[in-house]
């Protein structure tokens, strides 16, 4: 069973239409930190006893889900709703952009072993096991299961 380490946040707002018309959908921001059951096995051997994954799902409430994998140096904030330049992929993601948050829900998460709030090396314990792309895929699958996302658009 996956549990929330902290309650997810939720923010809902109307989505503006490109032609300036009245909003017809609602944009939703969901975010939180999930705690995965221990142990979390690693592809190259070993396991992690405690794994947290920080995530953010933002965009059209009923839209198909697109996952943006930014890597270890990126973070879960793909774009900013109030200021689209706040995210790491603001040139491609956000309202009216190719990954249009008026049409899609965009899912981002802090990578395992990266610099965000997902489990990674601690200053007091600088040695961290090797994490592979298979481990990131397992983390994403567990996150999608918990969020009730049965299918990804991309």
pLDDT-derived band at 116 (thresholds 50, 70, 90) equals: confident
Instruction: Assess if residue 153 is contained within a domain.
Output: no
91 in a structural domain:
yes
Residue 58 falls inside a structural domain: yes
Is 130 part of any domain?
Answer: yes
Report the pLDDT averaged over residues 47-52.
93
The residue ranking higher by pLDDT, 59 or 10, is 59
Range of the domain at 111: 3-147
Q: Are 24 and 54 in contact (CB under 8 A)?
A: no
Q: What is the structure's pLDDT at 7?
A: 42
Q: How sure is the predictor about 154, in pLDDT bands with cuts at 50, 70 and 90?
A: confident
* 66 assigned to some structural domain: yes
pLDDT score recorded for residue 83: 66
- Look up residue 52 and give its two tokens: 């947290």
Tell which residue, 39, 41, 33, has the closest CA to residue 147.
33
Number of domains within the chain: 1
SS3 state of residue 143: helix
Percent of the chain residues past pLDDT 90, beyond the cut: 56
Instruction: Kindly state the tokens that stand for 125.
Output: 């314990």
Report if residue 132 sits inside a domain: yes
Residue 80 forms part of a structural domain: yes
Q: Reduced to 3 states, what is the DSSP secondary structure of residue 67?
A: strand
C-beta of residue 68 within 8 angstroms of C-beta of residue 97: no
pTM beyond 0.85, yes or no: no
Q: Which of 98, 106, 4 is nearest to 61 (CA)?
A: 106
The CATH number assigned to the domain holding 31 equals 3.40.50.1820
Mean pLDDT within 117-135: 90
22 pLDDT exceeds 60?
no
pLDDT of residue 4: 39
8 A C-beta contact, residue 74 and residue 88: yes
Residue 90, pLDDT above cutoff 80:
yes
């Amino acid at each position: 069973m996956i549990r929330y380490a902290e309650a997810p946040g939720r923010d809902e707002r109307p989505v503006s239409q490109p032609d300036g018309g009245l909003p017809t959908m609602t944009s939703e921001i969901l975010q939180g930190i999930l705690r995965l059951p221990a142990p979390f096995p690693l592809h190259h051997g070993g396991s992690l006893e405690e794994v947290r994954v920080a995530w953010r799902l933002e965009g059209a409430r009923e839209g198909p889900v697109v996952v943006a994998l930014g890597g270890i140096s990126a973070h879960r904030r793909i774009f900013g709703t109030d200021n689209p330049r706040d995210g790491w992929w603001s040139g491609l993601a956000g309202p009216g952009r190719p990954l249009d948050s008026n049409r899609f829900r965009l899912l981002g998460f802090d990578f395992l072993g990266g610099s965000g709030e997902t489990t990674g090396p601690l200053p007091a314990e600088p040695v961290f096991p090797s994490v592979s792309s298979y481990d990131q895929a397992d983390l994403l699958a567990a996150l999608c299961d918990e969020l009730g996302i049965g299918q990804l658009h991309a």
